[in-house]
Structure 1
Amino acid sequence: MTTSTRTTPASLAPAPAPTPRQEKRGALQLTAAMLLSGTIGVFVVESGASPFTVVFYRCVFGAVFLALYCLARGYFGQHGFTARTLGLTALGGVFTVFNWTFLFESYERTSISVATVVYHTQPFIVVLLGAALFRERVTARKAGWLAVAFTGLILVAGVSDLDVTGLTGMGYALLAALFYGLSTVVTKRVTGVRPHLVALVQVTLGIPLLLPFAPLTESAELGAGWAWLIGLGVLHTGVMYVLMYAAYQKLPTSKIAVLAFVYPVAALLCDWAVYGHHITWLQALGVPLIAAATLGVNLRRA
Structure 2
Amino acid sequence: MTTADNKSANNKSAGNPTVRPTIAYLVALLICGSNGIVASCVNLPSYQIVFFRMILGMLFLFGLLGITRTRLSCKRHPEQLKYLAGAGIALGFQWALLFAAYRHVGIGVATLEYYCGPVIVMALSPFLFHETLTRRKVIGFLIVLAGMVLIVSYGVGENLSITGLIYGALAAVLYAAMIVLNRYAPDIEGLEGTAMQLAVGAGAVGIITLLVHGIEIPADIHAVNWGALLILGLFNTGVGSGLYFPQLTKIPVQRVAVFGYLEPLSAVLFSSLLLGEPLGILKIAGAFCIIGGALFAETARSEIARTS
Task: Give the TM-score taking structure 2 as reference length.
Answer: 0.76
Aligned-residue identity in percent = 24
CA contact (8 A) 1:123 1:294 kept: no
1:258 and 1:96 map into 2 onto residues whose CA distance is: 20
- Name the counterpart of 1:62: 57
Relative distance call for 1:123 and 1:202 in structure 2 (3 A) is same
**Which of the numbers 26, 30, 34 marks the counterpart of 1:35?**
30
**Which of the numbers 85, 108, 115 marks the counterpart of 2:110?**
115
Q: Secondary structure at the match of 1:61?
A: helix
Q: Find out whether 1:288 has 2:288 as its counterpart.
A: yes
- Name the counterpart of 2:200: 205
CA offsets, 1:212-256, max 9 Å, x none?
Answer: 333411265533222222211111111123344688899899997
1:79 and 1:229 map into 2 onto residues whose CA distance is: 30
Within 5 Å, which residues of 2 pair with 1:155-170? 155-158=150-153, 161-162=156-157, 165-170=160-165
Q: Find out whether 1:105 has 2:104 as its counterpart.
A: no
- Name the counterpart of 2:84: 89
Q: Secondary structure at the match of 1:277?
A: coil
CA contact (8 A) 1:80 1:192 kept: no
2:256 and 2:279 map into 1 onto residues whose CA distance is: 26
CA offsets, 1:156-187, max 9 Å, x none?
Answer: 12268436534543443332222111111111
1:154 and 1:84 map into 2 onto residues whose CA distance is: 40
- Name the counterpart of 2:222: 223
- Name the counterpart of 1:10: none
Relative distance call for 1:121 and 1:290 in structure 2 (3 A) is farther
- Name the counterpart of 1:3: none
Cα deviation, residue 270, structure 1: 2.1
- Name the counterpart of 2:5: none
- Name the counterpart of 1:238: 238
Cα deviation, residue 86, structure 1: 0.6
Relative distance call for 1:223 and 1:129 in structure 2 (3 A) is farther
**Which of the numbers 159, 162, 175 marks the counterpart of 1:180?**
175
CA contact (8 A) 1:29 1:247 kept: yes
- Name the counterpart of 2:184: 189
Q: What stretches of structure 2 of length at least 5 have no aligned partner?
A: 1-10, 303-308
Relative distance call for 1:290 and 1:81 in structure 2 (3 A) is farther
One-letter amino acid of the counterpart of residue 290, structure 1: I
One-letter amino acid of the counterpart of residue 146, structure 2: T
Q: Secondary structure at the match of 1:213?
A: helix
CA offsets, 1:27-73, max 9 Å, x none?
Answer: 77555433322211011111111111011011110110010011112
CA contact (8 A) 2:109 2:155 kept: no
CA contact (8 A) 2:88 2:178 kept: yes
Bigger helix share: 2
Q: CA RMSD in A?
A: 3.7
Q: What stretches of structure 1 of length at least 5 have no aligned partner?
A: 1-15
1:247 and 1:18 map into 2 onto residues whose CA distance is: 17
